[in-house]
Amino acid sequence: MTGRRGTTVLELVVALVITAAVAAAGASAFRQVVDRRVTVVAATRSTERAAALRATLREWIGTASLDTLLAPAGELHVVTNARTPAGTPGARVRLYIDHDPETPARGLCAAVRSPASEAAITQELDGTITALQVEYLDRATGQWMREPALLAGRPRAVRLALPGDDAQAPLWQLPLTLVVDSLPLSWGAS
């Protein structure tokens, strides 16, 4: 009696089915890894963009005097010695939200004007930010106020909230608060 050698067709089909199932599970796991990587990269880019913009705003406001009589609700006007698109110290920066469909900029924008020029350089800072909420900490009452005209004097701090429609930028959900006691304020300057 001779022993059986080789594989039957049934054994070959079973081996192919098992191999295909393992390959399908591996492909599915690999696809999930790739999808998660894409999500992480997008979130990282969004967070880096938000962190860079927060640093720019902190620099502009941190070396600034506040011009509150010129600032309507939802805007912040500062005169800063920090580096701006105008390229000169003493540049006047107007932070605002652009909703105008006639302009190419959207969202949070800055209109920067150098002291030697009447023309402003407008720059879109982040098109996903849909509102700019500016609050001032009243030195006398310790309350946050949105209208600078209601303050008893110079504010103790300024807080910016920048809500937007970008769900991947949770850094904007944190308000940017700057203590202005140490700033060279020209409070109420024109």
Q: What confidence tens digit (pLDDT) does each residue in 112-163 have?
A: 998 888 888 888 988 888 888 888 888 888 888 887 777 777 777 888 888 7
Q: Global pTM?
A: 0.70
Torsion region of 142: left, alpha or beta (phi above 0 gives left; psi -120 to 50 gives alpha): left
If you compute the radius of gyration of the chain from its CA atoms, what whole number of angstroms results? 28
Provide the pLDDT for residue 17: 92
C-alpha neighbours within 13 Å on the C-beta side of residue 106: 7
Provide the pLDDT for residue 19: 92
Residues of the chain with pLDDT under 50: 168, 183-190
Rounded CA-CA distance 76/74 in Å is: 7
Number of other residues whose CB lies within 10 A of the CB of residue 113: 21
Provide the pLDDT for residue 106: 86
Provide the pLDDT for residue 51: 85
Rounded CA-CA distance 173/49 in Å is: 14
Torsion of CA 161, 162, 165, 166, to 10 degrees: -110
Query: For the chain, what's the residue count?
Result: 190
Rounded CA-CA distance 75/108 in Å is: 10
Q: Is the distance from CB of 190 to CB of 69 less than 8 angstroms?
A: yes
